């Protein structure tokens, strides 16, 4: 199918690629078309395509499988074990900062028109959906115990209030979790959104004293800082899980780490640390359901997560000059 791009979100991965820290051009090329947080409209479909129609609002997945490992062969390229996958706009395949793209229907999901204002968030939301499922899979070891109902809602700590962190807060809140979000800012729109979603917000710039230790069932990291990854471990409660989604620089981490005591706690408290990357199509489908659920529970709160929409001509400002703590911006390609 041929899809006309409407808008694309700009994220930390795009900025890391521009800074030369990440990413890879397609084989035999020295340039890469960026962009993976996409939203478009179907323009034309091939003869054998029956489930998509011109005019459908659509979002395409990012990763394309290696075609050889069992995960990629069963539509779970997010778990690719050969490492020979490509990612559109990130590694080895052109992305969506373009007027149009051509794709097979297996890599595309339809979004209902009433979600058009937030659908550009579906790709980052798919990453959150997968990460939270990884966490829930670990936590499923310990529940339920008939006759012993939990004392209260499960507790989550979300580190980082960029799009991934905020979408994680929303996903956890609609499922009844007690959520605390930490970042290094005060009174930002992100902090206001956390409050509107019914979570608590803590600014940890001056120190982590306000963050309870040993208290959280699930900790979701969305900062990409190795120092913060380590800092989060002691916040885990017994049998808890820390899910890492940020990609720290390979030489990251400056704080001396009490490795023995951290690992000792992991063992003695049955704790787990799980890394989670990318998302297959099923998480995009789950994301559509959750965007609808956010609307039902919180009205247009999530709409404000895309704080800025600028014409594509302004790409360099959105990719290069971004103050820390700035909310999500999107590049507009067509009306
Ligand atoms: C994208 C994922 C991708 C990951 C690693 C993230 O920004 O959302 O789809 O797998 O980067 O390349």
pLDDT of 13-31, one tens digit each? 999 999 999 999 999 999 9
- Write out pLDDT tens, residues 91-129: 999 999 999 999 999 999 999 999 999 999 999 999 999
Ligand 1 nearest atom to the CA of residue 11, by list position? 7
Nearest CA to ligand 1 atom 10: 278
**191 and 331 Cβ atoms separated by less than 8 Å:** no
Nearest CA to ligand 1 atom 3: 278
Distance 313 CA to ligand 1 centre (A): 24
In the chain, CATH 3.90.180.10 sits at: 2-124+278-332
Q: What is the pTM of this model?
A: 0.97
Distance 283 CA to ligand 1 centre (A): 13
> Homologous superfamily of 127-275 in CATH?
NAD(P)-binding Rossmann-like Domain (3.40.50.720)
- Whether the pLDDT of residue 195 is over 90: the answer is yes
Q: Which two tokens stand for residue 250?
A: 């390979």
Distance 13 CA to ligand 1 centre (A): 7
| Distance separating alpha carbons of residues 29 and 23, to the nearest angstrom | 13
Nearest CA to ligand 1 atom 12: 90
Q: Which CATH class is domain 2-124+278-332?
A: alpha beta
In the chain, CATH 3.40.50.720 sits at: 127-275
Q: Which residues contact 90 (CB under 8 A, 6 or more apart)?
A: 13, 17, 22, 23, 24, 36, 62
Question: What band does 50 get if pLDDT is binned at 50, 70 and 90?
Answer: very high
| Distance separating alpha carbons of residues 66 and 54, to the nearest angstrom | 30
Q: Is the peptide bond before 144 cis (omega within 30 degrees of 0)?
A: yes
* Confidence at residue 231, expressed as pLDDT on a 0 to 100 scale: 95
Ligand 1 nearest atom to the CA of residue 124, by list position? 8
Distance 227 CA to ligand 1 centre (A): 21
Q: Dump the DSSP string for 172-201.
A: HHHTT-EEEEEES-SS-HHHHHHHHTT-EE
Among residues of the chain, what percentage have pLDDT more than 70?
99
Q: Which two tokens stand for residue 187?
A: 């009174």
Among residues of the chain, what percentage have pLDDT more than 90?
89
Distance 202 CA to ligand 1 centre (A): 27
Nearest CA to ligand 1 atom 9: 278
Ligand 1 site residues (CB inside 6 A) read 11, 13, 36, 62-63, 87, 90, 123, 127, 277-278
- What average pLDDT does the segment 160-184 reach? 97
Question: What band does 174 get if pLDDT is binned at 50, 70 and 90?
Answer: very high
Distance 246 CA to ligand 1 centre (A): 9
At CA 276, angle to CA 274 and CA 282, rounded to 5? 130
């Amino acid at each position: 199918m041929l899809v006309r791009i409407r808008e694309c979100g700009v994220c930390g991965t795009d900025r890391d690629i521009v800074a030369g820290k990440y990413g890879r051009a397609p084989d035999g090329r020295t340039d890469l078309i960026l962009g993976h947080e996409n939203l478009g409209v179907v323009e034309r479909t091939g003869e054998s395509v029956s489930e998509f129609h011109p005019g459908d609002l659509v979002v395409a997945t990012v990763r394309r499988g290696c075609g050889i490992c069992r995960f990629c062969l069963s539509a779970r390229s997010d778990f690719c074990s050969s490492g020979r996958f490509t990612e559109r706009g990130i590694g080895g395949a052109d992305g969506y900062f373009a007027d149009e793209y051509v794709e097979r229907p297996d890599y595309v999901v339809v979004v209902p028109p009433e979600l058009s204002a937030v659908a550009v968030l579906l790709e980052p939301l798919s990453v959150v959906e997968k990460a939270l499922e990884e966490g829930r899979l670990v936590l499923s070891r310990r529940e339920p115990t008939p006759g012993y109902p939990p004392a209260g809602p499960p507790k989550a700590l979300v580190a980082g209030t960029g799009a991934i962190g905020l979408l994680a807060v929303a996903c956890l809140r609609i499922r009844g979790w007690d959520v605390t979000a930490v970042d290094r800012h005060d009174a930002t729109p992100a902090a206001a959104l956390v409050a509107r979603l019914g979570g608590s917000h803590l600014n940890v710039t001056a120190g982590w004293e306000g963050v309870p230790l040993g208290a959280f069932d699930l900790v979701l990291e969305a900062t990409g800082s190795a120092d913060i990854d380590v800092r989060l471990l002691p916040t885990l409660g017994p049998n808890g899980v820390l899910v890492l989604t940020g990609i720290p620089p390979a030489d990251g981490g400056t704080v001396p780490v009490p490795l023995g005591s951290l690992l000792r706690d992991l063992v003695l408290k049955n704790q787990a640390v799980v890394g989670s990357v990318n998302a297959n199509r099923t998480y995009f489908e789950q994301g559509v359901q959750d965007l609808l659920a956010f609307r039902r529970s919180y009205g247009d709160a999530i709409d404000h997560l895309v704080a800025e929409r600028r014409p594509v001509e302004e790409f360099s400002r959105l990719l290069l000059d971004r103050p820390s703590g700035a909310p999500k911006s999107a590049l507009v390609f067509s009306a």
